[in-house]
């Protein structure tokens, strides 16, 4: 919020600490703000101010309900569900996107775990979101090293793993049963056969439908080839989140 009030922020390249870029945050230079979060509660008291400045914004809100071994410092599930509902009531169900990602398969979280928990979560969030995004865990070097060190029987992501087809079909059906569109995020596999088309988390078509503005559909060339997101400016900073999720690519050490 200090950066919003100043009208700019400075971001450091996570792979080159000597490279810093200034990004304008004035309302006329910002089409839409997309918040990625597991806990939006700290920003909610500032939403009126963001509205008054003239920002358009929506949230990608991750709710997984993982064991503490994977998400040691994330707020309780009931707290997050309550926050999700409050946020949806405040800004509208079309501006809060549920993320069920990444899907981690292990002894702690086998396919059956996801079948049960996705079903329960989709029922809890029915009417409070119109879209859910899923992805299988990505094999980032540091994150994979952490997962393997936990000795939880972590299984590298693949749609060929036992039970995965049933899982994908089930969560796709659960999403439709609760009135949600479902998309995948940056997957190397085409999940369309399971009713899960590839999505764009920063989506020109979605932005046009929700906010009534046209933005360039040009793909962001700095993202992975599997990513469909349009051009944007990422102002997040690595190694600042204190949730310490073990699968996270942006956490290089315990915080």
Query: pLDDT tens digits, residue range 190-213?
Result: 999 999 999 999 999 999 999 999
pLDDT band at 251 (very low <50, low <70, confident <90, very high): confident
Domain hosting residue 151, numbered range? 2-211
Q: For residue 37, is it within any domain?
A: yes
Residue indicated by tokens 């088309």: 197
Quick one: pLDDT at residue 103? 97
| Assigned domain for 240 exists | no
Is residue 142 a part of any domain in this protein?
yes
In a domain, 95, yes or no: yes
Task: Give domain status of residue 192, yes or no.
Answer: yes
Is there a domain that residue 219 lies in?
A: no
Q: What is the pLDDT of residue 255?
A: 45
Q: pLDDT tens, 133-178?
A: 999 999 888 899 999 999 999 999 999 999 999 999 999 999 999 9
Give the number of domains in the chain.
Answer: 1
Residue 38 lies in a domain: yes
- pTM to 2 decimal places: 0.95
- Tens digits of residue pLDDT in 51-110: 999 999 999 999 999 999 999 999 999 999 999 999 999 999 999 999 999 999 999 999
């Amino acid at each position: 919020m200090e950066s919003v009030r100043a009208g700019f922020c400075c971001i450091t390249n996570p792979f080159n600490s000597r490279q810093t870029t200034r990004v304008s945050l004035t309302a006329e230079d910002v089409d839409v703000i997309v918040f990625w979060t597991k806990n939006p509660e700290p920003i909610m008291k500032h939403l009126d101010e963001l509205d008054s400045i003239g920002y358009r914004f929506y949230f990608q809100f991750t709710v997984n309900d993982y064991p503490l071994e994977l998400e040691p410092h994330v707020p309780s599930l009931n707290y997050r569900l309550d926050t999700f509902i409050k946020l949806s009531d405040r800004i509208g169900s079309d501006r809060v996107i549920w993320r069920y990602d990444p899907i981690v398969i292990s002894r702690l979280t086998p396919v059956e775990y996801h079948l049960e928990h996705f079903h329960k979560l989709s029922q809890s969030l029915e009417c409070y979101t119109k879209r859910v995004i899923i992805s299988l865990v990505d094999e980032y070097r540091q994150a994979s090293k952490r997962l393997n060190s936990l000795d939880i029987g972590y299984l590298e992501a693949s749609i060929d793993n036992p039970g995965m087809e049933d899982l994908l079909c089930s969560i796709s059906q659960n999403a439709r049963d609760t009135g949600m569109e479902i998309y995948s995020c940056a997957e190397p596999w085409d999940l369309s056969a399971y009713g899960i088309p590839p999505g764009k988390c920063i989506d020109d078509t979605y932005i046009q439908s929700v906010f009534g503005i046209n933005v360039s559909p040009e793909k962001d060339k700095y993202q992975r080839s599997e990513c469909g997101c349009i051009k944007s400016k990422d102002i997040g900073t690595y190694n600042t989140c204190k949730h310490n999720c073990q699968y996270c690519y942006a956490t290089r050490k315990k915080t």
